[in-house]
Structure 1
Amino acid sequence: MRLRSLSLAPLALIAALAVSAPALAQEVPAPSAAPAPQGEPRLIVAISVDQFSADLFAQYRQHFTKGFTRLLQGAVFPSGFQSHAATETCPGHSTLLTGVHPARTGITANSWYQPGIARADKEVYCVEDETNPKSTPDNPVVSPVHLKAPTLGDLMKKRNPKTINAAVSAKDRAAVMMSGHDTDAVYWIGAKGFTTFENRRISKAAEAQNAVMARRVAAGDGDLPVPGWCGRVDRATPIKDFTIGTYRFPQAAGDFKSYANGPRIDTATAEMAVRMVDELGMGKDAVPDVLSVSFSATDKVGHAFGTEGVEMCIQMNVLDEALATLFDGLDARGIDYEVVLSADHGGFDAPERQQLRGNPEAMRIDPALSADKLAAAVSQDTGVTVKNGPLFYGAGEAGSVWFSSELTPDQKQKVMAALVARLKANPQIAAVYTQDQIMQWPEPKGNPQDWTMEQKVRASFVPGRSGEVQMLTVRGVVPGTARPFKVASHGSPWDYDRRVPMLFWRKGMVGFEQPTPVETVDIAPTLAATVGLTAPVGTWDGRCLDIQAGEADSCGR
């Protein structure tokens, strides 16, 4: 590991630059004015914006004036796809730098169930080592043990161990899935600040950033500013006995939880990323490095308030500023870097607001589809019960069903048949598949925009880890019960959850817009080509995208 001492002076410069970010963004040279990129970039910056759908990108791109400005001058693919059905954070992040679908990464969901394991809690979190006695899904011992595919950083370090592979996010699963197994530094937000793996100590950079955040939290803050272009979405929408649509994220003094679950955490993530670049000496020699940065606040805001209120508008502005903080910091250090920005999944607004805005089909999931309600009905249908625990796990919001290990083979078949019949009779269910059916299908290929439901499901199905029954809801159904700070979700096979932007930029590149549908699994082979990394045929599900306008092919074909 190549370490460099952390200097606070550059961070002061970043802060000064960030204040004037709108003006600076307008002064970024036009692509034709800068020399064309030469050779391999010194640093790959892979950015994920959690829950940043192609719809949000289209809605707000006209208002971006800071960090997004340079990305919009690069290669813009507005129709990227997280092609699979399990559109959740962990599976989505697992595709971004592995270049393979969740069926090959092994990450089928944020959590799954293993009814036969010894511990009382049968749920397994996607980045926990459940074999560690101290680990629980809510307080995991974080590990990449479940990730089956190498990331770009893993492959680059295998080629040359001097490559630095680092990641930062507010979410552990985002940082771990993007960085992989062979890492130099991985940070995410814990109970009081940035933390890392159990067997590592946080570095001076993390300690410094945590101290900054602690001072901010202790001082508190008022409402976040509302840009003028947010006016049309700044209105209340009633949901039960509370409303959404007008919250401005006031920061109570001493309340770290609200700080970490709102837009401000994206600013802290960008600052931490720059500190890591300094401390690790990234982008300073002839060996390319990889920095993965996942901004989590868009997802936190989307879940808490939906995607179409003033809350998301405020968040889009803060995200734009956070990107400027990161890019200005790298510019100030003179680093030749290449950026890709995409997302782990999209999102859907609260159905109550959808219904008020011309979508009468938007609805919340039927409580009868929850595991406990379905289990009671199936037990009544079949007469089958178990002594310990439920008849099956999952269903409802999970979209998958795992059966009790106490069931005999005959009982299991009887229960499965009754469950499938119940699901098919529910008007909110679009399709139901069993593991035996799914495993007969080939791994999908072709244009992701045209994939069938079966292809979407196959792309995220992992035998022995996925539920043995997969239930897919109709378009417009939102999982979960509405409550304050939890009104919307994702995870469906529909394009509002699958379609995400993919933006590539490097100083001097000639930009273009390409509406042809592409996949997030195309990102890894595309970046690999820019750093001269070759891999055996079959390493990736995706393909290299030519991100150089003109006769030259950036894929070397």
Structure 2
Amino acid sequence: MRFKYLFFLFLLTSFSSSFAQKWTKSATNTNYSETVARPKLVVGMVIDQMRWDYLYRFYNRYSKGGFKRLINEGFSVENTFIPYLPTQTACGHSSIYTGSVPALNGIIANSWYDQTLGRDMYCTEDKDEKTVGSTSNAGQMSPKNLKVNTITDELRLATNFQGKVISISLKDRGSILPGGHSANAAYWHDGLTGNWITSTHYMSNLPNWVTDYNAQKISDKFFNQNWNTLYPINTYINSDSDNVTYEGKFNGETTSSFPHLTKQYVGKNYEMIKSLPYGNTMTVDFAKLAVQNENLGKDAITDFLAISCSATDYVGHQFGPNSIELEDTYLRLDKDIEELFNYLDKTVGKGNYLFFLSADHGVAHAPEFLNKNNIPAERYTTRAIVKGIDSLLQQKFQLNKAIINIANDQVIFNHKVIDNSTVDFTAVKSTVINYLKKQRGVSNAVDLNNLQNTTLPDILKTRLENGYNPKLSGDIQIIGNAGWYNSSSSSGIGHGGWYNYDSHIPLVFMGWKVKPGKTNETHYMTDIAATLAAMLHIQMPNGSIGSPITELTHQ
């Protein structure tokens, strides 16, 4: 027995010594040149208000190097939808980059009523920050209201904050929310001065290259060009006629038709660049400067450039999705994208960058356009409905000023008034819901705190649940009729609903590790961040509920 014990001890000692030598040898001979396979640069482009069908509606007019290259060389996720309400800019950018929904990420709309403060809260508002780059208050912004992190934050964490994240958009929310909490920089446009600015959340002074760019007053150079169609106007056969009453007019113009004389804005109204296709060109040009001056994609550590093109949204709101202005804007954007691809090919290298394109929301058709083509639709307004509810609550419950407003298609009650009364709030909501269901343009109205007991289709119920945040949202959701638009104006159009024209968005990946192809499986905006995380081998954002698009990641 003693011999067996000594023999076993000998074997154990020998094994331990051998294992220790091998571990030490392995540790000292680690090949640090072997790294996780990642692209040098990720470029995310969000086209504000781009409906999915724009990929194909203008396809025959696109150049080979822009949208066509993206579609033909890339992988298109054809049935990508927004899984929440309302479909707005701030929510869309947040959802794309967090993989989350308003119920979790806290960005329930572009703005919302804060019951605690007793006022509206803007999505990126932060009075504790200061403007960097101008004397206006347009830089008092930060991602403070975003309650989860982003795929850009996760890339920063995964690279121990060595990978750079730069975010750019004419809109503050289109830049700040994609950049996340830890971006190196987020830049947006100040309509007062025409400068690209940022906030003290990111830096105390603008880099020299941004200051030099601002000094050129590029907006004035674009204004001096005026805005006429890129091609002969009679070739715009995919659009409505040029001068119709339901298109908005620029200040000083008597019609909504071409040409639009923008020279009047030189040195006077820099905000107007956002309503011209030149705003997209300026955004893309500024993004290329960021690649150059921030040395993005120049080393083995992955960087991220987030671009949001906002002019498409302003043009779409003013003129509508069937206008010549909108078609011309996309034909010009196509050329901007081609130039961006060519620039990235040259500077970062074709195949070294991963590019994806999506949208924050779609847009409805102008009801008047649908009507003249025998498709039912109308405009309606909630202004009269608010007065009607207020009068009803005074009459039935003796409640004065118990409703604050209807915002984001939600009824906002004054909880202080109701809480200080003896009235049953459930009865109040039931009364208002019954009233709303009788109103023109209203398809349904539901108690957001009691969705499980509604008879809504599951897909709509899920979208309402995903958009509902009990601390921030209203109490009753109004669901409008398909094709109807809530507006007090007789021109222009918007978005916000759950119907396909608002919720079906493009999603195309191209470049690093992406083979050409497409899928018609249903996916959601929340899957974008999860897919990027899978491709980059990094953690998903902490509030992500999406899933990787395996048709792409398993190529």
TM category, shorter:
0.7 to 0.9
Deviation at 1:130, TM superposition (A): 5.9
Find the aligned partners of 2:173 and 2:501 in 1 and give their Cα distance. Answer: 22
Find the aligned partners of 1:405 and 1:116 in 2 and give their Cα distance. Answer: 10
Q: Aligned ranges for residues 262-281 of structure 1 at < 5 Å? A: 262-281=276-295
* 2:274–2:310 contact (8 Å) kept in structure 1: no
Find the aligned partners of 2:390 and 2:333 in 1 and give their Cα distance. Answer: 43
Deviation at 1:377, TM superposition (A): 4.1
Cross-structure match for 1:374:
389
- Partner amino acid for 1:49? I
Find the aligned partners of 2:262 and 2:95 in 1 and give their Cα distance. Answer: 34
Deviation at 1:515, TM superposition (A): 1.8
- Partner amino acid for 1:365? Y
1:451-506 deviation line (CA, Å, top 9, x unaligned): 522111111111110112211111111122225xx610100111110000100000
1:189-222 deviation line (CA, Å, top 9, x unaligned): 1122211114532222322332344463586222
Q: 386, 393, 400: which is aligned to 2:404?
A: 393
Query: Unpaired runs of 5+ in structure 2?
Result: 1-35, 132-136
Q: Verify: 1:436 aligned to 2:455, yes or no.
A: no
Q: Aligned ranges for residues 412-427 of structure 1 at < 5 Å? A: 413=425, 414-427=427-440
Find the aligned partners of 1:130 and 1:406 in 2 and give their Cα distance. Answer: 26
Cross-structure match for 1:257:
271
Cross-structure match for 2:357:
341
- Partner amino acid for 1:393? I
- Partner amino acid for 1:196? T
Q: 10, 32, 56: which is aligned to 2:54?
A: 56
Cross-structure match for 1:472:
479
Deviation at 1:230, TM superposition (A): 1.3
Deviation at 1:149, TM superposition (A): 1.7
Q: 321, 340, 346: which is aligned to 1:332?
A: 346
1:212-265 deviation line (CA, Å, top 9, x unaligned): 444635862222334354145243222399797634443223332222322111
* 2:448–2:476 contact (8 Å) kept in structure 1: yes
Cross-structure match for 2:153:
154
Q: 515, 519, 522: which is aligned to 2:524?
A: 519
Deviation at 1:59, TM superposition (A): 1.3
Deviation at 1:547, TM superposition (A): 5.3
Task: Report SS of the residue matched to 1:352.
Answer: helix
* 1:169–1:295 contact (8 Å) kept in structure 2: yes
1:33-79 deviation line (CA, Å, top 9, x unaligned): xxxxx942111101100000113233123322142132112101222
Find the aligned partners of 1:127 and 1:241 in 2 and give their Cα distance. Answer: 28
Cross-structure match for 1:456:
463
- Report the number of matched residues: 492
1:313-338 deviation line (CA, Å, top 9, x unaligned): 11111211221232222122134211
Find the aligned partners of 1:239 and 1:317 in 2 and give their Cα distance. Answer: 22
* 2:247–2:492 contact (8 Å) kept in structure 1: no
TM-score, normalization by structure 2:
0.82
Deviation at 1:176, TM superposition (A): 1.3
Q: Verify: 1:289 aligned to 2:287, yes or no.
A: no
Q: Verify: 1:182 aligned to 2:191, yes or no.
A: no
1:382-430 deviation line (CA, Å, top 9, x unaligned): 33104xxxx32331x6211222243133447154333222112224222
- Partner amino acid for 1:337? Y
Find the aligned partners of 1:328 and 1:193 in 2 and give their Cα distance. Answer: 26
Deviation at 1:510, TM superposition (A): 2.4
Find the aligned partners of 1:244 and 1:165 in 2 and give their Cα distance. Answer: 43
Find the aligned partners of 2:225 and 2:409 in 1 and give their Cα distance. Answer: 39
* 1:167–1:187 contact (8 Å) kept in structure 2: yes
Cross-structure match for 1:15:
none
- Partner amino acid for 2:151? L
Find the aligned partners of 1:258 and 1:133 in 2 and give their Cα distance. Answer: 24
% identity of equivalent residues: 24
- Partner amino acid for 2:197? T
* 1:239–1:482 contact (8 Å) kept in structure 2: no
Task: Report SS of the residue matched to 2:548.
Answer: coil
Q: Aligned ranges for residues 67-86 of structure 1 at < 5 Å? A: 67-72=66-71, 73-86=73-86
Q: Verify: 1:494 aligned to 2:499, yes or no.
A: yes
Q: Verify: 1:209 aligned to 2:223, yes or no.
A: no
Cross-structure match for 1:43:
41
Report the structure number with the largest CA radius of gyration. Answer: 2
Q: Which moved more, 1:154-163 or 1:252-261?
A: 252-261
Q: 351, 356, 362: which is aligned to 2:367?
A: 351
Deviation at 1:127, TM superposition (A): 0.8
Query: Unpaired runs of 5+ in structure 1?
Result: 1-37, 445-449
* 1:99–1:521 contact (8 Å) kept in structure 2: yes
Q: CA separation of 1:240/1:79 partners in 2, compared to 1, >3 Å: closer, same or farther?
A: closer
Q: 317, 327, 338: which is aligned to 1:313?
A: 327
- Partner amino acid for 2:76? V
Cross-structure match for 2:236:
230
Deviation at 1:131, TM superposition (A): 7.1
Find the aligned partners of 1:481 and 1:398 in 2 and give their Cα distance. Answer: 15
Task: Report SS of the residue matched to 2:411.
Answer: strand
Q: CA separation of 1:467/1:516 partners in 2, compared to 1, >3 Å: closer, same or farther?
A: same
Find the aligned partners of 1:48 and 1:56 in 2 and give their Cα distance. Answer: 14
Q: CA separation of 1:45/1:236 partners in 2, compared to 1, >3 Å: closer, same or farther?
A: same
Find the aligned partners of 1:358 and 1:399 in 2 and give their Cα distance. Answer: 27
Q: Aligned ranges for residues 295-306 of structure 1 at < 5 Å? A: 295-306=309-320
